[in-house]
């Protein structure tokens, strides 16, 4: 299946570094744990909750999804894999393209 796991990781890390939410839908992410993290960040943004490592951890922990999302260590690792947080929207384009490819294959 077409996927860009490193781009997915970079998106989530960049979101926590910049305080921005992903502009692509959570189910565009291939990896289920990434879908959970993206959805949590998007929900936080809708509620006006600041986005960073600690607040995302808290949202996932409160929603009893922290373990399913990979745990605290995985969240922290996401911050380390971001080549350049300024490229968040470019990484989203890559993931969106892979999502469209999966949709075409599924039809």
Residue with tokens 């959805």: 39
For residue 31, what is the DSSP state?
S
pLDDT in tens, 2-41: 999 999 999 999 999 999 999 999 999 999 999 999 999 9
Q: What is the mean pLDDT of residues 53-70?
A: 98
pLDDT in tens, 71-97: 999 999 999 999 999 999 999 999 999
Q: Among the residues of 48-84, which ranges form H helices?
A: 53-62, 71-80
């Amino acid at each position: 299946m077409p996927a860009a796991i490193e781009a997915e990781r970079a998106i989530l890390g960049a979101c926590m570094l910049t305080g921005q939410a992903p502009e692509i839908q959570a189910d565009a992410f291939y990896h289920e744990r990434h879908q959970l993290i993206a959805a949590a960040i998007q929900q936080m943004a809708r509620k006006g909750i600041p986005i960073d490592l600690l607040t995302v951890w808290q949202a996932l922990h409160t929603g009893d999804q922290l373990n399913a999302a990979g745990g605290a260590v995985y969240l922290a690792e996401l911050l380390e894999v971001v080549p350049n947080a300024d490229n968040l929207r470019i990484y989203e384009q890559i993931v969106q393209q892979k999502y469209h490819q999966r949709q075409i294959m599924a039809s």
